[in-house]
Structure 1
Amino acid sequence: MTHERLFHAPVSVSVELGLRRDIESIAEAQKLLAEWYESRRGPLHEAAVQACNFAANGYVTTDQARSALVAFAEATGILPPDVDHVIAAHAVARSYDGFAS
């Protein structure tokens, strides 16, 4: 697994018996999505699968795939409510030449 395929922060999901599983990479997300109940798959599942496949091949960013996974997890109720999965933006102070000061 290469660094480019790792999420900037894991996505914690509730799996069987309420146990948490941390999804830290595209490969782990693909495994979770492949294991998902066929009878409960829908458009958000398909979007998350496609986003992960595209990210694995370098067509989209890992953040885009992570966002699709979070949307899927929220919609299916496996995203624990006490965990913040929002992608944070970090402000950078700039100096005159565009370098961080």
Structure 2
Amino acid sequence: MDRLQFFTPVRISRGQESPAEEIYSVAEAMGFLRKWPIGRRGPVYQCAVNCCSAALAGRMSAEEARKAFAGFARITRLLDDDMTLPMGGENINSVHALRR
């Protein structure tokens, strides 16, 4: 597996009329971010770009960059609803307990 490949893709949804897009790697995430409208680039966008750049330079793991990109997608309401559900049959309460 490529060191810049995500373990789990980030699923982007632009609405019900458009098919979901899956982002599989740091390079794909960076490509997506480069196309983001200039007028909508704020601090969360910049954080995702910085993390992806750091991963491309070998200063950060692909999974750390994935988390930043997924956070950007969540904040901009592009993260597919399926991505927000707990994985592996966990219930919501156990996930929140782990975060405390």
TM-score range normalised by the length of the shorter chain: 0.7 to 0.9
| Structure 1 unmatched ranges of 5 or more | 89-101
* Alpha-carbon separation, structure 2, partners of 1:73 and 1:32: 11
* Partner of residue 6, structure 2: 7
**Structure of larger gyration radius:** 1
* Greater RCO (CA < 8 Å, at least 6 residues apart): 2
Please give the TM-score of this superposition, normalised by the length of structure 2: 0.78
Aligned residues: 87
- Alignment of 1:66 onto 2:66: yes
| Structure 2 unmatched ranges of 5 or more | 89-100
Matched to 2:22, the amino acid is D
Percent identity over paired residues = 32
Instruction: State the Cα distance separating 1:19 from its structure 2 match.
Output: 2.1
* Partner of residue 96, structure 1: none
Instruction: State the Cα distance separating 1:62 from its structure 2 match.
Output: 0.6
* Alpha-carbon separation, structure 2, partners of 1:10 and 1:47: 19
1:1-80 paired onto structure 2 within 5 Å: 3-15=2-14, 17-80=17-80
Please give the TM-score of this superposition, normalised by the length of structure 1: 0.77
Provide the alpha-carbon RMSD of the alignment.
2.1
